[in-house]
Amino acid sequence: MIATYDPMTALIGGALIGLAATLLLWLNGRIAGVSGILANAIAAPGPERDWRTAFLVGLIFGPIVFAFVGGTLPRPVLPPLPEIVIAGVLVGFGTRLGRGCTSGHGVCGLARLSPRSLAATATFVATAMATVFLIRHVGG
Amino acid sequence: MKIAAAAIAGLIFGIGLALSGMLDPARVLGFLDIAGGAWDPTLVFVLAGAVGVTAIGYGLARPRAKPVFGESFQWPTASQIDARLLGGAAMFGVGWGLVGYCPGPAVASIGFAGTPTAIFCLALVGGMLLHRVMPAPPANRT
């Protein structure tokens, strides 16, 4: 059994993410890793912070522009508050310790055929799948 | 110009996430749930599109001396696969599996998704700050 999904829209959406990563490299020479950009945007002030803040502002406005031109945005249903906080801290701490997330390692790293990013991506996909399995099928 | 370029890249990134369905944690969890009986392969197509275009874009950048607005391409230099990399990735994965948010979609959802998403982002920043104040070998910090 497979859920209903739209492969072409997913592929085009993914291609736009790839276009954004390409633009950031071609124009500014930077890797589009959201966790790294966020971590350094909340660091010391200066020009190195400014472009990262601009990227994040663009990122936040992207879905709003998408909705403005007729796109549908989800109404996310999140788990209870303690789980949200624990998950957020794990994602924040883990992406710093592992130096990247789904965009930095998963998209940009795999595109460079980086063995380091492949190892990181395989690891976080595996522990994420194990977590979902424990919660949904073992009980949590 | 660097600022404007980054803003446009962020905007396109956010539109891509919205179009691809990756702003919905339920869809991401549907991909991560391999035993649920209704596996959602959307993320595979998103990743394929993103990695494919980025690989071509990066490949075209390789022969160039420098970016349009910057002094040099900041290619990652780290290559070691160590306990920090794998331990951090493992922690991140657990958090990702708990809620279905990784940093990109979480930040991109701040403008429309409501208070729980904003709390997730605050906790995300808190986790980053916690890492910053923890002692770490100089080689692994940037």
Q: Averaged over B118-123, what is the pLDDT?
A: 98
- pTM of the shown model: 0.94
Q: Which of A9, A11, A78 sits opposite B48 (nearest CB)?
A: A11
**What mean pLDDT value characterizes chain B?**
93
Q: How many CB atoms are located within 10 Å of the residue A62 CB?
A: 25
Domain borders along chain B are: 1-75, 79-142
CB contact under 8 A, B85 and A120: yes
CB contact under 8 A, B117 and A23: no
Instruction: Report yes or no for ipTM above 0.90.
Output: yes
Q: Residue A37 contacts by C-beta under 8 Å, 6 or more apart in sequence?
A: A52, A55, A56
Per the structure block, which two tokens stand in for B78?
């780290």
Q: Averaged over B108-137, what is the pLDDT?
A: 93
Q: In chain A, which residue's Cα lies nearest the Cα of B78? A: A116
Per the structure block, which two tokens stand in for A75?
């109404």
Scanning the structure block, which residue is given the tokens 């979609």? B105
Q: Report the distance separating Cα A122 and Cα A116, nearest Å.
A: 10
Q: In chain A, which residue's Cα lies nearest the Cα of B3? A: A51
CB contact under 8 A, B85 and A30: no
**Cα dihedral B82, B76, B55, B106 sign:** positive
Q: Is B65 exposed, middle or buried (0-12, 13-18, 19+ CB in 10 A)?
A: exposed
Q: Report the distance separating Cα B19 and Cα A12, nearest Å.
A: 8
Report the residue of A8, A84, A133 to disrupt the B interface, i.e. the one with the largest count of B CBs within 10 Å: A84
Residue B136 binned pLDDT confidence (cut-offs 50, 70, 90): low
Per the structure block, which two tokens stand in for B100?
């279905």
**What mean pLDDT value characterizes chain A?**
94
